[in-house]
Amino acid sequence: GAVVSQHPSWVICKSGTSVKIECRSLDFQATTMFWYRQFPKQSLMLMATSNEGSKATYEQGVEKDKFLINHASLTLSTLTVTSAHPEDSSFYICSARKDRYEQYFGPGTRLTVT
């Protein structure tokens, strides 16, 4: 199989603090991982493409200084939401690309900023 985990699954933080979310491919190596954001009852919005050993590629309108992505190994990518504000509250989902055609999704992280 192809299993992707995320940690934490749920986090509450105070406004102004930073939060780190981990995405791990447990049984395969992934040179490419993706980070998505999903608002309630809405579709997934691609935030950035994370490439192992190089800088992430951000989609238009996504602040790279606010959403820091690090892909230091073939099995781990992290998303850090810096100086979080209530409008950053959302469901964040990562995926890892195993082969040319498919990406496998993590279970998501629910972020609530108070």
Partner 1 sequence: AQSVTQLGSHVSVSEGALVLLRCNYSSSVPPYLFWYVQYPNQGLQLLLKYTSAATLVKGINGFEAEFKKSETSFHLTKPSAHMRDAAEYFCAVSEGTNAGKSTFGDGTTLTVKP
- In the region spanning residues 12 to 71, those forming contacts with partner 1, defined by CB under 8 A, are 32, 34, 42-44, 46, 49
Q: How far is the CB of 12 from partner 1 (least distance, A)?
A: 15
How far is Cα 58 from Cα 46, in angstroms, rounded to an integer? 9
How far is Cα 35 from Cα 49, in angstroms, rounded to an integer? 7
By the 8 A CB rule, do 108 and 91 touch? yes
CA distances from residue 71 to 16, 39, 85, 91 in whole angstroms, order as listed: 24, 24, 24, 20
Q: How far is the CB of 6 from partner 1 (least distance, A)?
A: 8
Out of 84, 104, 111, 113, the only residue in the binding site for partner 1 (CB under 8 A) is 104
Out of 35, 106, 111, 113, the only residue in the binding site for partner 1 (CB under 8 A) is 106
Tell me which residues touch partner 1 (CB under 8 A).
4, 6, 32, 34, 42-44, 46, 49, 91, 93, 95, 97, 100-108, 110
